[in-house]
């Protein structure tokens, strides 16, 4: 969610019991505005918080002119001092995938593998050391997984130019209440997968400038999202059952929208058996 409107945005998603104390909220808001100035980001989003056993990671994302370009990610343990996270790599995602259990809250904590693949076994023979991965890398991989799976935007909020860059749609005035209650009105803000498999006939009714992403209506498993009206029907709230703690909000007929994550960073693998 947008850093400049953080206090009001956190209030809108507080219906599910998520959020921060008033003191922490004020400190974080001021800190993010200074972060945007110091790093010269065009926009700063507060991504959320991953709760560990001994501490929590507060995550922020810095954006440039192209909204689809890789974002700079930073973390803080106290909402005041921020450190850049390394860019995500395929190796990070592969090595962090098998890890289970809670985060510790210590970026330098090292996880040891109980199961080793051929590459890890070869490395063990060469170096004589057990393969490990730092928690900082696991944080990066988890943020990327959550963004790919449940990071969403309303339809029409962003436009794609003929050159391929993505920018905010200045003509976007929000979804109507009727449209805001439909899953088809929201898109995954990541590289599309299902869109590439559509036939030319299915693509004929799509606007290439706004319908360039995958919608939520075909998410697997079906039923992994809940749609609710809160604040007396003034706010539409979507919650993910796949990544518990991810909440998206949109105020119909306005430009107010965003998502935030407050959770343990663990995927709900039992979801298919709960539906």
Assessment of whether the complete model's pTM goes beyond 0.75: yes
Average of pLDDT values for 66-95?
Answer: 90
User: What CA–CA distance (Å, rounded) separates 16 from 217?
Assistant: 23
Question: pLDDT band for position 193 (50/70/90)?
Answer: confident
Tokens for 91, please give them.
């190796």
198 pLDDT above the threshold of 80: no
Q: Residue 186 and residue 176: Cα distance in Å, rounded?
A: 13
User: Is 218 a residue whose pLDDT tops 60?
Assistant: yes
Ordered DSSP codes for 94-143: HHHTT--S---S-TT-EEEPSS--HHHHHHHHHH-S--EEEHHHHHHHHH
Peptide bond preceding 189: is omega within 30 degrees of 0, i.e. cis? no
> What does the pLDDT look like over 90-130, one tens digit per residue?
998 998 888 888 999 999 999 887 665 555 555 554 555 66
Give the model confidence (pLDDT) of 124-154 as tens digits: 545 556 678 899 999 999 999 999 999 999 9
**What are the distances in angstroms from CA 145 to CA 88, 89, 169, 222, 266?**
10, 12, 26, 19, 10
pLDDT higher than threshold 70 for residue 246: yes
Per-residue pLDDT, 144: 94
The total number of residues shown for the chain amounts to 275
**Given a cut of 90, is residue 180 above it in pLDDT?**
yes
């Amino acid at each position: 969610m947008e850093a400049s409107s953080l206090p009001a945005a956190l209030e809108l998603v507080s219906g599910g019991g998520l959020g921060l104390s008033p003191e922490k909220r004020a400190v974080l808001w001021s800190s993010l505005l200074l972060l945007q100035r110091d790093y010269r980001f065009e926009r700063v989003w507060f991504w959320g918080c991953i709760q560990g056993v001994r501490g929590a990671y507060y995550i922020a994302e810095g954006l440039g002119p192209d909204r689809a370009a890789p974002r700079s990610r930073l973390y803080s343990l106290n909402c005041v001092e921020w450190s850049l996270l390394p860019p995500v790599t395929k190796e990070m995602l592969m090595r962090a995938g098998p890890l289970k259990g809670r985060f510790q809250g210590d970026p330098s904590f090292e996880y040891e593998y109980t199961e080793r693949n051929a590459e890890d076994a070869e490395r063990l023979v060469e170096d004589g050391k057990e393969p490990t991965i730092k928690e900082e890398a696991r944080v990066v991989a988890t943020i990327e997984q959550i963004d790919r799976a449940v990071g969403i935007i309303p339809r029409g909020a962003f436009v794609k130019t003929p050159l391929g860059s993505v920018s905010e749609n200045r003509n976007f005035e929000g979804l109507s209440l009727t449209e805001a209650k439909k899953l088809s009105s929201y898109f995954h803000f990541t590289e599309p997968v299902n869109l590439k498999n559509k036939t030319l006939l299915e693509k004929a009714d799509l606007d290439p400038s706004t319908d360039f992403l995958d919608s939520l209506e075909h998410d697997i498993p079906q039923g992994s999202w809940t749609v609710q009206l809160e604040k007396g029907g003034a706010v539409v709230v979507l919650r993910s059952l796949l990544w518990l703690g991810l909440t998206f909000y949109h105020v119909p007929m306005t430009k107010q929208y965003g998502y935030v994550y407050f959770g343990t960073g663990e995927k709900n693998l039992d979801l298919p058996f709960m539906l």
